Amino acid sequence: MSLNSPTGFFSTKITDALNWARKFSIFQYPFVTACCGMEYMSTAASHYDVDRFGAGFPRFSPRQSDVLFVVGTINHKMAPVLKSVYDQMCEPKWVVAFGVCTCTGGFYDNYSTVQGIDTIIPVDIYIPGCPPRPENVLDGLMKLQDKIQKGEQSRTLYDPNAKTGRPAELQKYTITQHIKNIES
């Protein structure tokens, strides 16, 4: 079969094989700013073994990574740095929001804190929690692998006025709601 086949069979199969390989070779760039960094480190330790997902070796250059893990609170002074790091990453790239402060601003509802990093960069996977349990992080990592396998990337930014672009369960997710979820 030729490469110029009208059915696209050959190129589709190559894309599927590339996505399968990307799924098991996640080169992450940890952008850690606050307390969720401790839980991020415990998840990366040998007990939870993120290496079985192909995500065990972080890169400390955005140009060598394909997944940006944003861990912790982002303030407005740090937002341009985060955007710059995201822009330096090569395509295809994915973003994981780790912790409720990263996802929605958490209990920092004030002038200095970004109310969710999806107002700055598009987010592919949200892992809420204060801090999220390692099991939740592993679940988020498996969901990210599914997105990578399918070749999906988020390119939608959150619009706070229209309330679009963010999953419905995170629209008003706060620390109070997280505590209520734990108690029930």
145 to 53, 100, 148, 149, 175: CA distances (angstroms): 8, 21, 5, 6, 28
d(C-alpha 5, C-alpha 41), whole Å = 48
Q: What is the pLDDT of residues 86-98, one digit of tens each?
A: 999 988 899 999 9
DSSP letter assigned to residue 144: H
The answer to whether 63 and 24 have CB atoms below 8 angstroms apart is: no
Q: What is the pLDDT of residues 3-43, one digit of tens each?
A: 555 655 555 678 888 878 777 888 889 999 988 888 888 88
Furthest-apart CA atoms within the chain: distance in Å: 60
Q: Which residues contact 153 (CB under 8 A, 6 or more apart)?
A: 92, 93, 94, 122, 124, 147
d(C-alpha 118, C-alpha 48), whole Å = 28
Reference 84, options 32, 40, 154, 31; nearest CA is 31
The answer to whether 93 and 61 have CB atoms below 8 angstroms apart is: no
User: Quick one: pLDDT at residue 2?
Assistant: 44
Alpha-helix residue ranges (DSSP H) falling in the chain: 9-23, 36-44, 79-88, 100-104, 134-150, 175-183
Record: fold of 23-183 = Rossmann fold (3.40.50)
Helix (H) or strand (E) holding 96: strand 94-98
| Tens-level pLDDT at each residue, the chain (184 residues) | 445 556 555 556 788 888 787 778 888 899 999 888 888 888 888 888 888 887 777 888 999 999 999 999 999 999 999 999 999 998 889 999 999 999 888 888 888 999 889 989 999 999 988 889 888 989 999 999 999 888 888 777 777 777 667 776 665 555 555 556 556 6
R_g of the chain, CA atoms, integer Å: 17
d(C-alpha 147, C-alpha 45), whole Å = 24
User: Quick one: pLDDT at residue 21?
Assistant: 79
